[in-house]
Every structure is written in structure tokens, then in C-alpha cells.
Amino acid sequence: MEKTHLTGLTRAELVEFAERQGEPGWRGKQLFKQIQARRLFSFDEMTDLPKKFRQALREIAVISTLKVESRFVSTDGTRRYLMKTQDGFPVETVFIPSENRDTICFSSQSGCPLKCDFCLTAKLGLLRSLSAGEIVEQILIVLNDVYGVGNETPHGTNLVGMGAGEPFLNFENLVKAIEIICDKEGLSIVPNRITISTAGIVPKIYEFAELKIRPHLAISLSAPTDELRNRLMPINRRWNIETLMQAASFFHEKMRPREKLTFEYVLLKGVNDSENQALELARLLRKYRLKRVKVNLIPHNTAEELDYTPSDETKIERFKAVLESHGIPAYIRRPRGRDIYAACGQLAAKASVSAVSKKLETI
Ligand code: SF4
């Protein structure tokens, strides 16, 4: 019999689980706290649970299913984790430290079915979607590694769903993982500290906008015209820019006060980084009267497997200036650790450990 992965159960589900084992429901709440707040991965450490129950749990349940295969630490403190699921699929997670607030970038799928032309993960294709438990576990593993088991995070944590995969193609598990992560008796991360990035799965943007526990949204755009976006992000052939912007407008209407909608734009030398294209992007955002938006400009990282090179520094600055001159806040997202790739997860799970390690050593 397959063991139940407790990390992917909500507090309410753990109450039911405990009751099914003949225990009072509050034992389930206790279990939830031990896993999600204390971040314990071993039943033996849960000494406030009766020994008999802990023994039974060992037979029927499991807390941790991901195995960290490799961990790389960049000189700027960025940590990259290559993990494996129990059935052998690669999962990547990145920790990015910062003075004010650390960020964990998690994956929603192993590989990705979308074929963004500038993305290494795309080369893998979809291996499989991750379960809610596998999404949550990535965060628990990183927090324990960086701060020590159960220790407080010194200045809170931001989460970004920009790792490998398209989160909105794994919507149900993503939403469940968010519920678990935001639970006040667990990790207690507020939705305002979480950003989910989509390449433009339009129907799910509408659904996401209506969620009760809703993180921020980032839309990976990377081109101001359909002609170019069809080429760079083939998902555009299914939902073109107009359809995408209508969904963005709907989301914009539903936003909380002071919330901002982010557009991510990967800058590719000679492809989408001209002044004229910056102007087209500004006009596009203005056309839909999106007032509370910001644009993250992401200089592309080169990789042997990809036919693109990063834009020149002057071009990047000029692109930013054009957007700003049209009243659109724009930020250049400097790559951290250089192993981390842009917008919605350009992680290359297939990258051999030695290749990644070599990259990090040279920083
Ligand atoms: S950029 Fe994001 S959505 Fe596109 S292929 Fe890569 S991981 Fe998938």
C-alpha cells in the first residue's frame, strides 16, 4: 500500500486522517504543526505524539519524499538544489538571499510542456506535474537547510512560483500547496509574499483572480507583438496577446489596494530589446489602462543550448527609460548566482551536475 504523503495534506485533511486512525481530530492539528511549523521530517522527533501513534505513522505515512541530490552555493549566497522525486524525476529549487527578505523560487512541474524558445527547461518537455506535497516540501527543505530545522526565518521569506514548469498547468496542486503554505498554524506565509508567474494560461488567470487565498500574479510576456511572441512563446498561438491582456485586465480589477500586476520581459539581444519595442510594450500596457503594473526586465543568461545572447547594458537601460517615460515602473532584475534563469523558471533540470557546478565555481 502506498504511504500517505502528509506534507501535502491541509490541516483539515490531517484532522480527518488522524480520525481515520482512531485518534482524536486534534492529533491531526498537532501533526500539521510538527510538519509545517516545526518543519520536522521524522516521526521520532514528534515526542508530544503518543509512541503508538508514531509507530503506526511510520507504517502508513511519509513526510519527506524528495531527495536532495546536489546543492550548489554561489559566492553571492544563492543556493540551488537539485532534488529527485521518489519516482526519479528532477526538481529544482533556488534560494536567493537578500538583506531585507530572502526568496525561495520553487518548481511546480518536473520539466515543462511549454516551448518557450529562450528557456532551458523547455528542452526537457514535461516529465510530470508535482504534487501539492512535493511543492510544499521544496520550501520546507530549503528553510531547514538555510536556517536550521524549525528555526525562525530572520526576516521572513518571499516565495516565487517561477521555477521549472507552468504553475497554471498544475493548478489544483498549486492552489492546495498555497493553502498549506499560508496556513497560520503552519509556515504562515502571507499571500502577499507569494508571486506566481504564468506564461499565459488564460482561463486559469480568471480562476486565479477569484481565489480566496490569492498570491500576486506575474505574467511572462517577453514580446509586444503576436508575431514575435508566437515565435518566442508558442503558447501565444493558443491565447494571443489580446486574449491575455483581457485576462490581465480582469485580474487588475480584482487586485487588492496597493497590489501590482507584474509583467516579466526577458531581454534578448537584437530580438526584443529595441527602443521601438519598448514603445510598443508601453502602448500595449496603456491601451488596456493597466495603471498598477510594473515590468521586470530580465537580462537573458546565455547557455550553449540556446540561440540567444543577453542584451547590451545600454540597450537594457534605454528600454527601461522608455517604459518609465510612459509612466510604467520598470526594474532590471539582475541575475543572481548566474545559475538562475529568468521569468517563469528557466531552470535546466537536465543540466548535468558538473556543468552547473562549474558555472557556480566561476562566479
Ligand atoms: S519559460 Fe517557463 S513556461 Fe516557458 S518553457 Fe520555460 S519553464 Fe516553461
The tens digit of pLDDT for each residue in 336-359 reads 765 544 333 445 544 433 333 333
Pocket lining: 121 vs ligand 1, CB cutoff 6 Å: yes
> So which residues are the catalytic ones?
92, 344
Looking at residue 127, its pLDDT comes to 96
CA-199 nearest atom, ligand 1:
3
Looking at residue 337, its pLDDT comes to 64
CA-346 nearest atom, ligand 1:
6
Looking at residue 362, its pLDDT comes to 30
Domain match, 192 and 275 both:
yes
Domain match, 31 and 132 both:
no
Domain match, 85 and 8 both:
no
Q: How many domains does the chain have?
A: 2
What stretches in the chain show pLDDT beneath 70? 302, 337-363
How far does residue 49's CA lie from ligand 1's centre (Å)?
43
CA-233 nearest atom, ligand 1:
4
Task: Give the start-end residues of each E strand in the chain.
Answer: 4-5, 61-62, 67-73, 79-84, 90-96, 102-105, 109-111, 126-129, 157-161, 194-198, 216-220, 261-267, 293-299, 330-332
Domain match, 219 and 233 both:
yes
pLDDT per residue as tens digits for the range 285-299: 999 999 999 999 998
Pocket lining: 346 vs ligand 1, CB cutoff 6 Å: yes
The model's pTM is 0.93
Domain match, 218 and 134 both:
yes
Pocket lining: 344 vs ligand 1, CB cutoff 6 Å: yes
Sign of CA dihedral 264, 351, 141, 94: negative
- For residue 347, the domain's CATH number is 3.20.20.70
Domain match, 102 and 177 both:
yes
Look at residues 62, 85, 108 and tell me which one is the last residue of a structural domain: 62
How far does residue 119's CA lie from ligand 1's centre (Å)?
6
Cα 225 to its chain centre, rounded Å, is 26
Q: Cβ–Cβ contacts within 10 Å for residue 210, how many?
A: 10
Domain match, 18 and 90 both:
no
Cα 89 to its chain centre, rounded Å, is 17
Domain match, 160 and 215 both:
yes
Q: Which three cell numbers stand for residue 304?
A: 550553449
Looking at residue 343, its pLDDT comes to 34
Domain match, 224 and 155 both:
yes
State percent of the chain over pLDDT 70: 92
Looking at residue 360, its pLDDT comes to 36
Pocket lining: 164 vs ligand 1, CB cutoff 6 Å: yes
How far does residue 113's CA lie from ligand 1's centre (Å)?
8
Pocket lining: 284 vs ligand 1, CB cutoff 6 Å: no
Q: Which residues form the domain of 25?
A: 4-62
Instruction: Report how far residue 287's alpha carbon sits from residue 325's, in angstroms, rounded to the nearest whole number.
Output: 16
Average of per-residue pLDDT values in the chain: 91
